[in-house]
Amino acid sequence: MKALLTGLLLAALTWLPGVAAAADTDTPQAGRDYVEIAGGKPWAAKPGRIEVAEVFGYSCPHCAHLEPLLKAWKGKQAGDVDFVAVPAAFGGSWDTWARAYYAASSLGLLARTHDAVFAAVHEQGALPRNPSAQELAAFYAGYGVTADRFRAALADPKVDEQVRRAAAFAQASGLEGTPTLIVAGRYRVLGHSFEDMLRITDWLVARERQAAGRS
């Protein structure tokens, strides 16, 4: 009976002005396809640029699956779009991975190691999902630095500050999980699939471009 009443209610709603049109359109809707972030700010605002931030975690299998699609998506973006990866810092092993990301960045290793870390965790089993500093140092030592140098980078106070900033960004954005895409610091993308997330992101980027009079 409950299912029948629900079906009848939905059928009745489609006759209300505008409801049927909204149901049939692919135009993203606030609350359904994205969330407007009250007081939200980009990770690193640049004049005349539209930032798309991905909050991710190396131990997150969904982030690993999104990565190839995201790489292809980035290659199609116009010159006014800035993509930035922000490691999720939720505490525990999440912070460990965030530290590894920023340590690798400080040593100029990200271009060589970003994809390799995902593969090591999710395909090869070469890294555990909750690694120690020693395990991380041994892994990154295969990419042009000594293990001691990588451990020193992990302990750098500048890395501490970057991890704290990443945690604050995720909290301010109302993050519910990873991977999450955030456009211009103002919109948290939802979507029911990775492809849908990227479609919504494209629409929000176009919206920001149009609002700035650059469409």
Contact 52, 81 (CB under 8 A): yes
Q: Residue 2 falls within a domain, yes or no?
A: no
Q: Which residue has the higher pLDDT, 88 or 211?
A: 88
Q: Residue 140 falls within a domain, yes or no?
A: yes
Q: Residue 60 falls within a domain, yes or no?
A: yes
With bands split at pLDDT 50, 70 and 90, how would you rate the model's confidence at 213? confident
Q: Taking residues 115-121, what's their average pLDDT?
A: 98
The count of C-alpha atoms lying within 13 angstroms of the C-alpha of 11, restricted to the half-sphere facing its C-beta, is 6
**Global confidence as pTM:** 0.86
Q: Residue 142 falls within a domain, yes or no?
A: yes
Q: Residue 17 falls within a domain, yes or no?
A: no
With bands split at pLDDT 50, 70 and 90, how would you rate the model's confidence at 198? very high
Q: Residue 11 falls within a domain, yes or no?
A: no
Q: What is the pLDDT of residues 153-168, one digit of tens each?
A: 999 999 999 999 999 9
Cis peptide before 42 (omega within 30 of 0): no
User: Can you give the residue range of the structural domain that contains 203?
Assistant: 27-211
Say how far apart CA 34 and CA 28 lie, in whole Å. Answer: 7
Which distant-in-sequence residues (6+ apart) come within 8 Å of 71 by Cβ?
none
Predicted pLDDT of residue 15: 36
Q: Residue 99 falls within a domain, yes or no?
A: yes
Which distant-in-sequence residues (6+ apart) come within 8 Å of 160 by Cβ?
none
Which distant-in-sequence residues (6+ apart) come within 8 Å of 214 by Cβ?
48, 80
Say how far apart CA 175 and CA 88 lie, in whole Å. Answer: 9
Can you give the CATH number for the domain in which 157 is found? 3.40.30.10
Q: Taking residues 72-88, what's their average pLDDT?
A: 97
Q: Residue 183 falls within a domain, yes or no?
A: yes
Averaged confidence pLDDT in the chain: 90
DSSP 3-state of 180:
strand
**Burial class of residue 113, CB neighbours in 10 A (0-12, 13-18, 19+):** buried
Give the chain's domain count. 1
